[in-house]
Amino acid sequence: MKKFWTLIASTMLVASAAFAQDDYDYADQSEEQATEQASEPWPNEDEQSSEAEPAEEAPAAPVAKQVNNQVTNQTNIQQANQVTIQNNFYAQANEAHAPASNAQANEPQESYERPANNEQKFGIGLRAAFDYGMMYGFKNEDDDVDGSPTGIGFEGGLMGRIQLVSNLHFAPEVNIAFVRTEHEYLHQKRTYTSIDLEIPLLMRGIVLDKFYVTGGPQLNLNLSNDFDYDNKDATEGYEEKIDEAKFTFGLAVGAGFNIIEGLFIDVRFYMGLMDLYPDVKSISDYEDGEIVSEGDDFSYISMKGAKMMKIKAGLSYWFI
């Protein structure tokens, strides 16, 4: 009997131990599930809404990608246009400065008065020159006359320039010119002085870079003249009176060279085409017994045919 109760007690003890082990395993499993659920993040509102919304909202991503592609394409097109414009600009600049062909590249580049010399359409300057004057065309055959009157002088004034076509200018001038010439008659010195207003109406053509030639008519207005000879006060008889013509005309030609910018040297030749003393009479012009009237232009030698010739060496400067 005692053994029976001992067996029952042992059985109950084993059963209690087994039950306790089952409870322990179940509690461990519950705690592990709770820990796993706590460690998992809760879904945010966007994910909840995406899970709740239907699947038709998914194509939104391709639309955004298409917009981005359009913006990228427009940016690339603008950049390509800018590069094309810059390339065209540089190409035009290079064509403007580069020779059009190898033949043009070998040609010398002209530099005289090309601006911008752009050639300037108008110009104003100053000119001064030394003159060598000589009367030519004398018809006097008197052996007592020693050569034609020659001498030196000078002139100065204003000059202008108006462009007509490329390398061709109309270049008028206004100068005050003084000249003194002399020769001998009967071993007495005879001196002729003259102050004229000279107006050359010249054409100027530019050739060979800095070199130019010029030519045209010249008008002369006599402002003052005088005649003198040795021992004039001791001369017996009629007093000579020699007056120059108020207006004469001639031709001028010359050439010049550009030294530095605006400064030129030139050589010019002038030949008068009109008589200097058309109203002066000589002894041979009076008939036998005719008396020289008081106030007549009179000379002991013939001045017929006398014209003026000048060689000029000048310096000019264009300040405009």
**What pLDDT is recorded for position 287?**
74
Most confident of 45-54, 88-97, 153-162: 153-162
pTM of the predicted structure, to 2 decimals = 0.62
What's the sign of the alpha-carbon dihedral 251, 199, 176, 122?
Answer: negative
Question: Which 3-state string (H, E, C) describes 119-167?
Answer: CCCEEEEEEEEEEEEEEECCCCCCCCEEEEEEEEEEEEEEEEEEEEECC
When pLDDT is averaged across residues 295-309 and rounded to a whole number, the result is 89
Q: 122-318: which CATH topology?
A: Porin (2.40.160)
Identify the residue with better confidence: 78 or 310.
Answer: 310
Q: Is 290 helix (H, G, I), strand (E, B) or coil?
A: coil
Identify the residue with better confidence: 49 or 282.
Answer: 282
Phi and psi (nearest 5°) for 229?
A: -150, 165
pLDDT at position 95 over 80: no
pLDDT at position 48 over 50: no
Q: Give the separation between CA 72 and CA 19, rounded to whole angstroms.
A: 73
pLDDT at position 270 over 80: yes
**What pLDDT is recorded for position 219?**
98
Instruction: Kindly state the percentage of the chain with pLDDT values over 90.
Output: 45
**What pLDDT is recorded for position 73?**
63
**What pLDDT is recorded for position 216?**
98
When pLDDT is averaged across residues 140-158 and rounded to a whole number, the result is 91
Most confident of 13-17, 85-89, 246-250: 246-250
**What pLDDT is recorded for position 52?**
44
Give the confidence band of 86 by pLDDT, cuts at 50, 70, 90: low
Per-residue pLDDT reduced to its tens digit, 97-111: 555 444 454 555 444
The overall average pLDDT reported for the chain is 77
Q: Give the separation between CA 306 and CA 74, rounded to whole angstroms.
A: 91
Which of 156, 149, 182, 157 lies closest to 308, judged by CA?
149
Domain ranges in the chain?
A: 45-107, 122-318
Give the confidence band of 178 by pLDDT, cuts at 50, 70, 90: very high
**What pLDDT is recorded for position 186?**
87
**What pLDDT is recorded for position 184?**
93
Q: Give the separation between CA 282 and CA 14, rounded to whole angstroms.
A: 184
pLDDT at position 4 over 80: no
Q: Is 106 helix (H, G, I), strand (E, B) or coil?
A: helix
pLDDT at position 147 over 70: yes
Q: Give the separation between CA 48 and CA 320, rounded to whole angstroms.
A: 89
pLDDT at position 96 over 60: no
**What pLDDT is recorded for position 248?**
97
End-to-end CA distance of the chain: 154
